[in-house]
Amino acid sequence: MNTDRLLLLAPRPNDTAPRLGAAAARRGIRALTAPDWKAPAGTPDGVRAHLYGGPLLADSVAGELGILALEPPADWLARLPRALSGRQVESVTLAEARRLRRPAFVKPPTDKFFPARIYPDGSRLPGPDAFDDNLPVLVSDIAGFAREYRLFVLDGAVHTGSRYALGPALDPLPLDEDPYAAEARAFAGELLTDPACRLPSAAVVDVGMLQDGGWAAVEANPAWASGGYACDPERVLDVVCRAAGPVAEAAATDAPFARPIPTGGPAKP
């Protein structure tokens, strides 16, 4: 076992975590489920650590373990041209979103502070007693997707992928077993090479076929906080290890995408 390298998994693992743990073990990487939202006691000095498990885990351990956790810009979807987003998308503050007087899909970009869903109007969003007025959120027109796909992206190319939904129903299938895989890959190629598509070297991008037959970006998320569905876990691990790994191994071009380390300590689970 290569005790010099560690993959730390969140104490509340999803279905992907054990598959990543098994993939890590095959490479001689020690996989460890954190007993709590903190770095495990006795972690050896100099260990080259990676993490998989979401924002709370990243905020809790990244600083102590010397991990650079990469994430797409909060306004990534809003920056895309409408030909790629398929709908009007704005990056606004929660205070601005509360003034909406029409139905819209509203979501926090990365941290799941409140449910991402269609809100009848802004008055249904959490109030200032729950979240700060300056919290960034994405507000988009309502779009119906017939099929949705998760793509783990490494160095600007699809490294592995999975269909994850047919209409509103979860229906995972390896990307290349889906009848529209070629179309999904072609759209992903167009998206990932567009100048507006600024992403770290390792990330997750979801794309979908709209109900009218066109294609659009759904969202982008950190690889270390994204489920793998029917993706190849070995290749998911490649992306996760790049997306949340030792600061000393990170490329300079990834520095702008680093998640800030909280100064007041992480939020409570």
The pTM score is 0.90
Q: What mean pLDDT comes out for the span 245-249? A: 96
* Predicted pLDDT of residue 3: 56
Q: Are 93 and 78 in contact (CB under 8 A)?
A: no
Q: What mean pLDDT comes out for the span 57-72? A: 95
Q: Are 204 and 161 in contact (CB under 8 A)?
A: no
Q: Are 62 and 69 in contact (CB under 8 A)?
A: yes
Q: What mean pLDDT comes out for the span 120-134? A: 88
Dihedrals phi, psi of 26, to nearest 5 degrees: -65, -25
Indicate the pairing of strand 48-52 with strand 2-9: parallel
CA distances in angstroms from 238 to 52, 72, 93, 195, listed in the order given: 12, 17, 34, 25
Considering only residues 45 and 230, tell me which one the structure prediction assigns the higher pLDDT: 230
CA distances in angstroms from 268 to 11, 35, 112, 249, 265, listed in the order given: 13, 15, 13, 29, 9
* Predicted pLDDT of residue 226: 96
Check whether 268 has a pLDDT greater than 50: no
* Predicted pLDDT of residue 2: 46
Tokens for 197? 């598509």
Over residues 104-124, the pLDDT tens digits come to 899 887 667 888 889 999 999
CA distances in angstroms from 177 to 137, 182, 230, listed in the order given: 35, 10, 10
Check whether 58 has a pLDDT greater than 60: yes
* Predicted pLDDT of residue 182: 98
Q: Which residue, among 136, 232, 244, has the nearest Cα to 200 in the 3D structure?
A: 244
* Predicted pLDDT of residue 111: 67
Give CA torsion, residues 62, 256, 207, 149, to 10 deg: -30
Q: Which percentage of the chain shows pLDDT scores above 90?
A: 74
**The total number of residues written for the chain in this structure:** 269
* Predicted pLDDT of residue 13: 79
* Predicted pLDDT of residue 12: 87
Mean pLDDT of all residues in the chain?
Answer: 92
Dihedrals phi, psi of 183, to nearest 5 degrees: -65, -40
Check whether 252 has a pLDDT greater than 70: yes
**Local confidence band at 266 (pLDDT 50, 70, 90 cut-offs):** very low
Dihedrals phi, psi of 75, to nearest 5 degrees: -100, 25
Query: For residues 229 and 116, what is the distance between their CA atoms, to the nearest angstrom?
Result: 19
Cα angle 256-16-114, degrees, rounded to a multiple of 5: 60
Check whether 1 has a pLDDT greater than 80: no
The conformational region for residue 73 under phi > 0 = left, psi -120 to 50 = alpha, else beta, is beta
* Predicted pLDDT of residue 127: 87
Over residues 172-222, the pLDDT tens digits come to 999 999 999 999 999 999 999 999 999 999 999 999 999 988 999 999 999
Q: Which percentage of the chain shows pLDDT scores above 70?
A: 96
Dihedrals phi, psi of 13, to nearest 5 degrees: -70, 150
